[in-house]
């Protein structure tokens, strides 16, 4: 037996392998894949089963409050607060990233200091800080630094709950997005900028047309994380009595004690929003994957291939023929 094997390995190009030319190629079996998938499917089924059958989740109550007016108002506030915070945060963050990447040592250190400071302070502390600003600086005034002042006003009127939340969260997004944008820009090879310079393109154009599109594949996934994280992090404003989605739910269950159903109402709305954002992220990522081999990979491709509704290429081809 052993001699048989050694003989065969010694003759790698045996003459009797003609039948192999017509043989079918069979993929190796992967039992581990099937077993792990089966286990996970059972666990998922158990989870869904308990969600549906445990009466204490009180799904009818959840349904009853899902479109409650105050919940929808809270939802609205959550959405526009998140949007405003992200736009402001990314504008500041991009500027900070530019400062950190500049050759000016003052700008560089200020950019670094900003990121360091904001990232060091817990978001809740920042929120309370801006909310309580009045106790720190009762009066703000406009004038020449260290010189005479022209106008002054009381801070007590300046920072209501929503404004404090807007400022605190925007600064937080600014610090984190600055690092995301900076990382994305650094991921673009220096040769790209050089090639564009050699072609006579200006600095602004090089940034917009050459660097940014290539930085986006690195920026988008991290930004999706930040965006979705911030959507949920806005719920922190409930501590300063801003009526966002979560706080609206809390107000209701403080009166009727239906805690779990109302938390489920808020959760389900967060799930809906996150789903919408994730789908958006997928399309943005696909847009910036031009020129790479990563276009439409993974689950999404499987999905589109197997559902005729999503199979646009197939539809187009069918229409033409």
Q: Is 49 in the site for another protein (CB under 8 A)?
A: no
Please, which residue, 189 or 308, has the CB nearer to another protein?
A: 189
Pick the stretch among 33-41, 171-179, 202-210, 227-235 that binds another protein (CB under 8 A). Answer: 202-210
CB of 265 to another protein, least distance (A): 43
- The tokens for 253 are 């269950």
- The tokens for 279 are 């789908």
Pick the stretch among 99-107, 223-231, 269-277, 283-291 that binds another protein (CB under 8 A). Answer: 283-291
Q: How many beta carbons lie within 10 A of that of residue 49, not counting itself?
A: 10
Q: Is 120:177 a contact under the CB 8 Å cutoff?
A: no
Pick the stretch among 133-141, 161-169, 241-249, 288-296 that binds another protein (CB under 8 A). Answer: 288-296
Q: Cα(130)–Cα(166) distance, rounded to whole angstroms?
A: 10
Residue 127, C-beta contacts closer than 8 angstroms, at least 6 positions apart: 164, 165, 168, 169, 236, 237, 239, 240
Selection from 177, 219, 215 nearest residue 193 by Cα: 215
Q: Is 220 in the site for another protein (CB under 8 A)?
A: no
Task: Say if residue 254 is exposed, middle or buried (CB neighbours under 10 Å; 0-12, 13-18, 19+).
Answer: exposed
Candidate residues 139, 205, 301, 305; the one interacting with another protein per rule CB under 8 A: 205
Pick the stretch among 137-145, 171-179, 224-232, 289-297 that binds another protein (CB under 8 A). Answer: 289-297
CB of 196 to another protein, least distance (A): 8
- The tokens for 110 are 């200020």
Please, which residue, 8 or 294, has the CB nearer to another protein?
A: 294
Q: x/- binding map, residues 166-195, to another protein, per CB under 8 A?
A: -----------------------x-xx-xx
Q: Is 283 in the site for another protein (CB under 8 A)?
A: no
Candidate residues 33, 198, 307, 316; the one interacting with another protein per rule CB under 8 A: 198
Q: Is 291 in the site for another protein (CB under 8 A)?
A: yes
Task: Say if residue 18 is exposed, middle or buried (CB neighbours under 10 Å; 0-12, 13-18, 19+).
Answer: exposed
């Amino acid at each position: 037996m052993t001699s048989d094997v050694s003989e065969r390995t010694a003759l790698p190009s045996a003459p009797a392998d003609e039948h192999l030319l017509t043989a079918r190629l069979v993929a190796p079996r992967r039992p581990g894949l099937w077993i792990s998938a089966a286990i996970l499917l059972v666990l998922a089924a158990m989870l869904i089963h308990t969600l549906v059958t445990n009466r204490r989740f009180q799904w009818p109550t959840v349904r009853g409050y899902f479109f409650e007016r105050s919940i929808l108002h809270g939802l609205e506030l959550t959405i526009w607060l998140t949007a405003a915070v992200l736009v402001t945060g990314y504008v500041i963050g991009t500027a900070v990233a530019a400062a950190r990447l500049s050759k000016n040592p003052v700008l560089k250190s200020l950019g670094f200091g900003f990121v360091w400071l904001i990232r060091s302070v817990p978001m809740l502390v920042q929120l309370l800080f801006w909310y309580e600003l009045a106790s720190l600086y009762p009066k703000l005034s406009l004038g020449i630094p260290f010189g005479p002042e022209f106008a002054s006003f009381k801070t007590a009127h300046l920072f209501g709950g929503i404004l404090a939340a807007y400022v605190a969260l925007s600064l937080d997004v600014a610090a984190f997005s600055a690092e995301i944008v900076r990382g994305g820009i650094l991921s673009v090879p220096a040769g790209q900028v050089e090639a564009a310079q050699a072609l006579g393109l200006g600095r602004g154009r090089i940034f917009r047309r050459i660097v940014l599109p290539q930085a986006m594949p690195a920026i988008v996934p991290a930004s999706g994380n930040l965006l979705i994280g911030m959507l949920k992090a806005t719920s922190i404003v409930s501590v300063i009595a801003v009526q966002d989605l979560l706080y609206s739910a809390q107000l209701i269950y403080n009166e009727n004690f239906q805690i779990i159903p109302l938390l489920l109402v808020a959760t389900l709305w967060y799930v809906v929003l996150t789903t919408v954002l994730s789908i958006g992220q997928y399309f943005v990522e696909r847009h910036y994957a031009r020129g790479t081999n990563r276009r439409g990979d993974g689950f999404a491709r499987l999905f589109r291939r197997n559902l005729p509704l999503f199979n646009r290429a197939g539809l187009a081809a069918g229409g033409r023929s």
